[in-house]
């Protein structure tokens, strides 16, 4: 064996036996390359490929027909093969500031960009990401400012009769102060878990940045797992993960709504928090938005701030027909009457104008109008996507606890 | 748009536009399938592929020649195409209990298994994992036992003149006790970052399990980032990540050794810990093993427990020739004399018998023998791989603070 010259190089090479081949020789591939004018070039070395495409949310969406309706999915673009089997695609226009996700499709097979270390997991899929600086991209970026702490913990749920995993953001300075803090419960959608808001929602970055800019109050953000048939994200569970797909009986001991008291109790006995309605907020996206509406109605004197993102506040997730739906709505409106009587400071509903739930949101607000239930409505462009949920979080957090 | 029957299904479908196509139709692919006899079947739907291989550490390693010597890399096996473009490979023999990593190679291109949600990141690459139950696999699995908390925090390093990210495991019950705990500093290798021991090393699972079994004392485990030219893992940094590859000047304000006092100070002023030599341990793998030896020698009355995994304790990472190496060794031995005089409880050196650093470890121990420096040597099979580092951690942690 040849004598090593620089031990460090060797050590590194030995620990990356799975990493990209570029490290073993050949030109390093730069991908994505964000140019000064904010056009972006993507590159993939794939000498044997016949067709290389890219799909991502920076491309115009395509319509997909399914049994459940028509949905927007990210569009695709073709890469062109150049020298040495390196395929390339450059966006024809500069991209607006945003956090974008993408994957390559090589001869029909999805794969990540081996040249890009920035990846996030969305339940069962991993995509590469990149951020175009500016507004709102800077809000989603790690900056050289004071940082909060993100803890993954387990709490005991007597209602669900098991331990469950939970993600908790404490603001910068929490550990070295004697202050008590307000609490914001932030719930994921049906396709997520207790990692969703931190990974895809960029909660820690958004809160760190808003707090540093003096735009949001220092607060604790609590991100539980909203699927009560599971105890944790797929990779973190002590028993087999039960996918949410398929609907039907979810085989959970109790619902998110019925077991939510366990979470509040855990947080209020384990963190230095202000334990009153004025210092509790709850919001969520999609299924988590319905959870937020339902939980704040079920505990009608507990939250002063309610956020319902991309979801109708009045919607049963389990009703199977129109009569069940109507009955649920009727009972829910009665709960809203109580919530209205008790009072709250902000009921914030946000939805994209192409969201497949848009009409449901409009219908819910009509019912709320009928009983004079106050809310603030924020309509954005586009649909049921993380881009909107990051924007909603960035707008909602600054309104809390003021 | 067709009326939705089960809203939940729709919500889920909309949030997984990137996920595997199986969810949109077709037979779901099960991969990996662990059979009762612990043989494993891997499957990939890839109708257009010409050749599908799998590479992973459950396959016999291959030799790879490089300018720096010959290295073992995981072997490959061919999948066979069956009906509907589904490729399949079954291990000819049952696999021993272990945590294994793998990826597919489709026509020369590496890709993850879209049917397996268990994935871990190793700096720039993501691989799928699976665990064969038994011993030691069970030690690496999440069990229904009390769990510690894993926090990602930022600490201030006055020496490096910046904030840096750090991962900290606190044992079950830490938050609700008034006890003080011993501290174990656990350092990653040259190809890692502050996420390496948690993700690939399964530190939280190993400690949770060892503590639950009464085999290890409850302790705090501190996992800093060992590359002082960086502040955090690639995806978590506020400035461009500087790869360790290439050696040469690392452009850091100070070395890991010189800045380590900042970490101890941070931990001892932010956690309820026992602040004496009897309650401090330090260990690391590869580069982190060298760091552990160097740091414990540089602060020669600070640690009672030192673990050097897969690395020679006496080795300069920056020396460029034999004379520089000899000079470093000579000075290091003087430091070891002081460390010996001060005393310590355990100096544990572990190495695999095919490790490319094996001879360096033997040479170091010879030098230590010459000055009567006590150590315990644990030789395992195989080489410079996470399998060994998880085993070493599982064996080292039970010996601490007793």
- Are B175 and B88 contained in the same domain? no
With an 8 Å Cβ cutoff, are A149 and B153 in contact? yes
Pair of tokens at residue B274? 């026992």
With a cut of 70, say whether residue A165 has pLDDT above it.
yes
CB B46 within 8 A of CB B106: yes
3-state secondary structure string, chain A? CCCCCCHHHHHHHHCCCCCCHHHHCCCCCCCCEECCCCCEEEEEECCCCCCEEEEECCCCCEEEEECCEEEEECCEEECEECHHHEEEEECCCCCCCEEEEEEEEECCEEECCCCCCCEEEECCEEEEEEEECCCCHHHHCCCCCCCCEEEEEEEEECCCCEEEEEEEEECCCHHHCCCCECEEEEECCCCCCCCHHHHCCCHHHHHHHHHHCCCCCCCEEEEECCCCCCCCCHHHCCCCCCCCCCCCCCCCCCCHHHHHHHHHHHHHHHCCECCCHHHEEEEEECHHHHHHHHHHHHCCCCCCEEEEECCCCCCCCCCCCHHHHHHHHHHHHHHHHHHHHHCCCEEEEEEECCCCCHHHHHHHHHHHHHCCCCCEEEEECCCCCHHHHHHHHHHHHHHCCC
CATH code of residue A116: 2.60.40.10
Q: What's the pLDDT score for residue A239?
A: 83
Report yes or no on B354 lying in a domain: yes
Angle between helices B287-298 and B256-270 (to 10 degrees): 80
CA distance A363 to chain B (A): 15
pLDDT reported for residue B17? 39
Whether A22 has its CB under 8 Å from any CB of chain B: the answer is no
- In a domain, residue A142? The reply is no
Instruction: Give the model's confidence band at A240: pLDDT under 50 very low, under 70 low, under 90 confident, else very high.
Output: confident
Residue A2 lies in a domain: no
pLDDT at B19: 38
Residue B96: the pLDDT is 96
Indicate whether A130 and A156 sit together in one domain.
no
Q: Give the residue from A71, A101, A134 where a domain finishes.
A: A134
Which of A100, A134, A168 is the C-terminal boundary of a domain? A134
Nearest residue in A to B62, CA atom: A17
At residue B16, the pLDDT reads 42
- Specify the pLDDT at position A391: 97
Q: Are residues B119 and B192 in the same domain?
A: no
Residue in B closest to A127 by C-alpha:
B18
Q: Does B324 touch chain A (CB under 8 A)?
A: no
What's the pLDDT at B18? 37
The total number of structural domains in chain B stands at 2
pLDDT of residue B250: 52
| Contacts A175 to B, Cβ<8 Å | 153, 270
Judged against a pLDDT cut of 90, whether residue A5 lies above it is answered with no
A 232-261 residues inside an 8 A Cβ radius of B? 232, 234-239, 241, 244-248
Q: What is the pLDDT of residues A27-71, one digit of tens each?
A: 578 999 999 999 999 999 998 889 999 999 899 888 877 776 777
A19 located within any domain? no
**pLDDT (mean) for A306-312:** 98
- Among A79, A104, A134, give the residue marking a domain's end: A134
Whether residue B8 lies inside any domain: the answer is no
Spell out which residues of chain A touch residue B152, defining contact as CB-CB under 8 Å: 149-151
Q: Indicate yes or no: CB of A74 within 8 angstroms of CB of B287.
A: no
Q: Which has the minimum average pLDDT: A242-251, A278-287, A372-381, B224-233?
A: A242-251
Report the alpha-carbon distance of residue B107 to residue B110 in Å, rounded.
8
The reported pLDDT for the residue numbered A244 is: 58
Q: How far is A342 from chain B (nearest CA, A)?
A: 30
Q: Which of B18, B109, B147 sits opposite A122 (nearest CB)?
A: B18
Which pLDDT tens digit goes with each residue over A114-129?
Answer: 888 888 877 667 789 9
The answer to whether the Cβ–Cβ distance between B124 and A117 falls below 8 Å is yes
A224 plus A331 within the same structural domain: yes
Candidate from A97-101, A251-255, A310-314, A391-395 with smallest mean pLDDT: A251-255
The sign of the torsion formed by the CA atoms of A126, A132, A133, A137 equals negative
pLDDT(A18) > 90:
no
Q: What is the pLDDT of residue A126?
A: 78
Residue A38 and residue A187 in one domain: no
**Same domain? A187 vs A257:** yes
B115 → chain A, closest CA residue = A124
In a shared domain, residues A304 and A332: yes
Q: Which of A6, A7, A68, A131 to mutate to test the interface with B (most CBs of B within 10 A)?
A: A7
Decide if A33 contacts A40 (C-beta within 8 A): yes
Contact B163 A142 (CB under 8 A): no
Q: A73 to chain B, minimum CA–CA distance in Å?
A: 6
Please state, for a pLDDT cut of 90, what percent of chain A lies above it.
73
Looking at this predicted complex, what is its ipTM?
Answer: 0.89
Q: Is the same domain home to B293 and B194?
A: yes
Residues B159, B227: one domain? yes
Model pTM above 0.95 = no
Here the tokens at position A312 are 């109708």
pLDDT the model gives residue A73 = 78
> Looking at residue B323, which CATH number applies to its domain?
3.40.50.1820
pLDDT at A84 over 60: yes
Decide if A369 is inside a domain: yes
Put simply, the answer to whether A16 touches B110 (Cβ < 8 Å) is no
Domain that holds residue B210: 149-399
User: What are A150's strand-pairing partners?
Assistant: A169, B152
Residue B144 in any domain: the answer is no
**In terms of domains, do B47 and B162 share one?**
no
**What is the pLDDT at residue B280?**
98
Residue A252 has a pLDDT of 80
Is there a domain that residue B320 lies in? yes
Q: Is the pLDDT of residue A175 over 70?
A: yes
In sequence order, the 6+-apart residues with CB closer than 8 A to the CB of A123 are: A191, A192, A193, A196, A233, A234, B16, B19, B117
CA B130 – CA B33 distance, rounded (Å): 10
Q: Determine if the peptide bond prior to B306 is cis (ω within 30°).
A: no
User: Do B272 and B337 sit in the same domain of this protein?
Assistant: yes
Q: Are residues A108 and A220 in the same domain?
A: no
Does an H or E element contain B350, and which?
strand B346-352
DSSP annotation of B34: E
For position A124, what pLDDT does the model report? Answer: 63
Task: Report CA A64 to chain centroid distance, whole Å.
Answer: 23
Instruction: Nearest by CB to B152, from A11, A125, A150: name it.
Output: A150
Report, as ranges of residue numbers, the positions in chain B whose pLDDT lies below 70.
Answer: 1-27, 68, 123-124, 241-250
Q: 291-310 in B: which are within 8 Å (CB) of A?
A: none
User: Please, which residues 188-217 of chain A have a Cβ atom closer than 8 Å to chain B?
Assistant: 189-192
A68 → closest Cβ in B4, B17, B49? B4
- What is the predicted pLDDT for the residue at A4? 36
Q: Which of B275, B101, B119 is nearest to B195 (CA)?
A: B119
Q: How confident is the model at residue A110 (pLDDT cuts 50, 70, 90)?
A: confident
> What pLDDT is stored for residue B69 in this prediction?
72
């Amino acid at each position: 064996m040849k004598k090593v010259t620089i031990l460090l190089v060797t050590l590194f090479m030995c620990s990356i036996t799975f990493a990209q081949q570029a490290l073993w020789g050949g030109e390093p591939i730069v991908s994505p390359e964000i140019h000064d004018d904010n056009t972006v070039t993507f590159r993939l070395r794939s000498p044997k490929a016949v067709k290389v495409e890219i799909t991502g949310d920076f491309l115009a969406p395509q319509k997909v027909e399914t049994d459940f309706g028509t949905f927007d999915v990210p569009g695709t673009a073709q890469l062109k093969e150049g020298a040495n089997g390196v395929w390339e695609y450059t966006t024809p226009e500069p991209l607006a500031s945003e956090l974008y996700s993408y994957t390559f499709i090589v001869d029909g097979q999805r794969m990540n960009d081996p040249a890009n270390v920035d990846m996030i997991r969305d339940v069962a899929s991993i995509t590469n990401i990149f951020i175009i600086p500016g507004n709102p991209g800077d809000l989603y970026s790690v900056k050289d400012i004071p940082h909060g702490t993100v803890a993954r913990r387990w709490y005991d749920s007597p209602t669900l009769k098991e331990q469950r995993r939970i993600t908790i953001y404490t603001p910068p300075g929490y550990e070295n102060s004697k202050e008590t803090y307000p609490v914001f419960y932030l719930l994921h959608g049906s396709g997520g878990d207790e990692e969703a808001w931190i990974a895809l929602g960029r909660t820690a970055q958004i809160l760190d940045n808003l707090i540093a800019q003096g735009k949001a109050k220092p607060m604790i953000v609590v991100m539980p797992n909203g699927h009560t048939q599971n105890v944790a994200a797929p990779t973190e569970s002590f028993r087999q993960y039960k996918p949410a797909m398929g609907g039907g009986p979810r085989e959970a001991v109790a619902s998110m709504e019925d077991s939510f008291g366990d979470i509040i109790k855990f947080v209020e006995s384990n963190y230095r928090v202000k334990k009153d309605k004025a210092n509790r907020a709850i919001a969520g996206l999609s299924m988590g938005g319905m959870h937020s509406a339902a939980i704040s109605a079920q505990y009608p004197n507990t939250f002063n701030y309610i956020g319902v993102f991309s979801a109708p506040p009045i919607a049963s997730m389990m009703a199977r027909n129109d009569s069940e739906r109507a009955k649920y709505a009727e009972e829910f409106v009665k709960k809203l009457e109580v919530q209205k009587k008790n009072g709250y400071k902000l009921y914030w509903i946000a939805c994209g104008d192409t969201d497949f739930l848009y009409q449901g949101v409009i219908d819910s607000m009509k019912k709320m109008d009928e009983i004079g239930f106050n809310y603030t409505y924020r309509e954005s462009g586009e649909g049921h996507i993380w881009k909107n949920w990051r924007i909603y979080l960035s707008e909602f957090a600054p309104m809390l606890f003021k």
